[in-house]
């Protein structure tokens, strides 16, 4: 069993990466082999809008035709038994490298004529989204809807998808050194990181275990 996780955050040791590592620990508890890939380590861009992946009879039908640093990773995905994709919300949208990855990964796999998937197998997939906004701000800005859109589109390609949305994350190790919004209370952020974030990590662990178990039953 192979479970792949993708870190769509530039940070390798902060909220998104920590949650992904916990999810992989959960997968490992089900005797899965795991790998964490940091997308910011790769040299690639988003969809080129060439439509080679949709050209009937074309050599790249159903797969991305662009050759760059993402190409071998996309090949790994097809061979994986489960996927976990983590990404932060930046400026009200999925962070750039994660969005580009999703464009290149998901769109070629859609069966556009039958509104299904071109994959020959179901790949259980988990999404982990982080954001500095609290729940109230998330709903006010419709950010949860952004995540649900990714969930829906990813589900069309891979089958069953589940999501974890982690809000009000602790963004700096010392808030006094950085400019931040006046409504942000650093002490409350720190307390939430100390008490609530470990619970989110446990949810990520459980997600990883569920995905691995589901993949083993497929």
Say whether domain 2-217 belongs to CATH 3.40.710.10. Answer: no
Q: Is residue 77 a contact partner of residue 158, using CB atoms and an 8 Å limit?
A: no
β-sheet bridge partners, residue 37: 6
For 157-171, what is each residue's pLDDT tens digit? 898 899 999 999 988
What CA–CA distance (Å, rounded) separates 64 from 118?
13
Say which range, 7-21, 22-36, 50-64, 176-190, has the weakest mean pLDDT. 176-190
What CA–CA distance (Å, rounded) separates 109 from 112?
9
Q: What is the pTM of this model?
A: 0.92
Candidates 159, 145, 168, 9; CA nearest to 86 is 9
Give yes or no for residue 218 having a pLDDT over 70. Answer: no
What CA–CA distance (Å, rounded) separates 35 from 4?
5
Q: Is residue 124 a contact partner of residue 160, using CB atoms and an 8 Å limit?
A: yes
Domain ranges across the chain: 2-217
The confidence score (pLDDT) of residue 216 equals: 66
């Amino acid at each position: 069993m192979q479970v792949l996780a993708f870190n769509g955050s530039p940070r390798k040791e902060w909220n998104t990466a920590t949650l992904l590592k916990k999810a992989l620990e959960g997968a490992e508890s089900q005797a899965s082999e795991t790998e964490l890939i940091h997308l910011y380590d790769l040299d690639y861009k988003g969809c080129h809008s060439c439509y080679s992946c949709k050209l009937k009879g074309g050599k790249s039908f159903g797969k991305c035709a662009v050759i760059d640093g993402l190409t071998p990773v996309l090949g790994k995905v097809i061979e994986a038994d489960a996927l976990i994709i983590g990404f932060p919300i930046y400026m009200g949208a999925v962070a750039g490298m994660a969005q580009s990855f999703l464009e290149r990964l998901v769109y070629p796999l859609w069966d556009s004529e039958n509104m299904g998937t071109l994959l020959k197998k179901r790949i259980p997939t988990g999404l982990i989204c982080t954001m500095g906004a609290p729940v109230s701000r998330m709903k006010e800005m419709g950010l949860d809807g952004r995540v649900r859109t990714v969930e829906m589109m990813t589900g069309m390609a891979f089958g069953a998808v589940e999501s974890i949305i982690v809000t009000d994350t602790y963004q700096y190790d010392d808030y006094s050194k950085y400019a931040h919004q006046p409504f942000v209370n650093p002490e409350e952020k720190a307390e939430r990181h100390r008490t609530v974030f470990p619970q989110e990590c446990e949810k990520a662990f459980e997600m990883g275990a569920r995905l691995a178990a589901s993949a083993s039953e497929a």
